[in-house]
Amino acid sequence: MHRNAYLFLLLTTLLWGGNSVAGKLAVDHVSPMTLVFLRWVLAVLIMLPIGWRTIQTDWPAVRRHWLVLAALGASGFTLFNTIFYTALNYTTAINVSIEQAAMPILIMTANFVFFRLRVNWAQIAGVVLTIAGVILTACHGDPRRLLTLELNFGDALMLVAVVIYSGYSVGLRLKPAMQWQSLMLALSVAALVTSLPFFLWELVAGRVIVPDIRGWTVIAYTAVGASIISQIAYIRGNELIGANRAGLFINLVPIFGTLLSVLIVGESFQVYQAMALALVLGGIGLAEYSGRRTATRAEP
């Protein structure tokens, strides 16, 4: 079971890392809110024929739990991405990467507060190692860069985004039992509806950049890879090993994003990137080994 979870979560973080590269490629080719809105338009169009029959079967569950589904779709799919893109207009990628590394800590804290899920010292040590890897990546192997960081409005926005996605991860425990096609379609519709006001604001403000060929390519990737496939995989990974253990994999996102930048954008590969990958994988391995033993002992 846990091997399948690892595959799902590695696929998730690889696709999310690709989303970081896609964000770089989207600059001047499609505006941020237009990108968010159109990715969910396309995602819904893809999911409609896939989930139409199953959602009819699952409609009683959708109707009973529509508020939970709407909150999950709005928070994890729309609000996080909208605030994330906005924050990058005011702060640096270094700050954002470091701030995102707080997600596993918030997820573990929320799970303890609301569901009394405990963690052990090995899991905490694993979290620390993954954060060290993220920081090493963010500062490009030079810790002295941390001394020059300045907090600003963008950092405050990013912290809000981190809290929102951490809440989404924990909130997945509350999702109703239904087929994955129905769940993904319902969440995608919620994301589409809640992304519309942001697109309309960008339109009224005159900030829309109509996508060109590269823009549509980025939209297609974010809709299929970073939205549908990755979210299905992340939800499934959460189901198999829980939000505490699954959340730790999020710290692979900046690592994969950096490595994909080497492959796609042509950036040079550095020794610190290999060290950061080793730290993050080592931290996940330590925390996951301990978490799996704890879960095994807890089984009746």
In this structure, are residues 113 and 281 in contact, taking their beta carbons and an 8 Å threshold? no
Over the stretch 17-37, which tens digit does the pLDDT of each residue have? 888 778 778 878 999 899 999
Give the residue carrying structure tokens 């912290």.
Answer: 159
**Distance, CA of 94 to CA of 129 (rounded, Å):** 18
> C-alpha dihedral over 238, 239, 245, 247, to 10 degrees?
10
- Dihedral sign for Cα atoms in the order 40, 98, 175, 183: positive
Both tokens of 98, joined, read 């470091």
Task: Give me the DSSP letters along 181-236.
Answer: HHHHHHHHHHHHHHHHHHHHHHHHTT------HHHHHHHHHHHIIIIIIHHHHHHH
Stated pTM of the model: 0.83
Both tokens of 3, joined, read 């091997």
> Does the pLDDT of residue 300 top 50, yes or no?
no
Give the residue carrying structure tokens 């309309």.
Answer: 200
Distances (CA, A) of 77 to 72, 82, 188, 189, 204: 8, 9, 8, 10, 23
Comparing 96-105, 124-133, 160-169, the range with the smallest average pLDDT is: 96-105
- The pLDDT > 70 percentage for the chain reads 93
Residue range 269-291: mean pLDDT, rounded: 80
Over the stretch 148-177, which tens digit does the pLDDT of each residue have? 767 678 888 888 998 999 999 999 999 999
Q: How many CB atoms lie within 10 A of CB 183?
A: 26
**Averaged pLDDT of the chain:** 86
In this structure, are residues 119 and 244 in contact, taking their beta carbons and an 8 Å threshold? yes
pLDDT category at 267 given cuts 50, 70, 90 is: low
Question: What pLDDT, on a 0 to 100 scale, did the predictor assign at position 251?
Answer: 83
Question: What pLDDT, on a 0 to 100 scale, did the predictor assign at position 234?
Answer: 93
Scanning the chain, the segments in alpha helix (DSSP H) are 2-26, 32-57, 59-64, 66-72, 80-87, 93-100, 103-115, 121-138, 153-171, 180-204, 213-223, 230-241, 243-247, 253-260, 271-298
> Does the pLDDT of residue 233 top 80, yes or no?
yes
R_g of the chain, CA atoms, integer Å:
19
Question: What pLDDT, on a 0 to 100 scale, did the predictor assign at position 228?
Answer: 94
Both tokens of 136, joined, read 């090493």
Question: What pLDDT, on a 0 to 100 scale, did the predictor assign at position 244?
Answer: 83
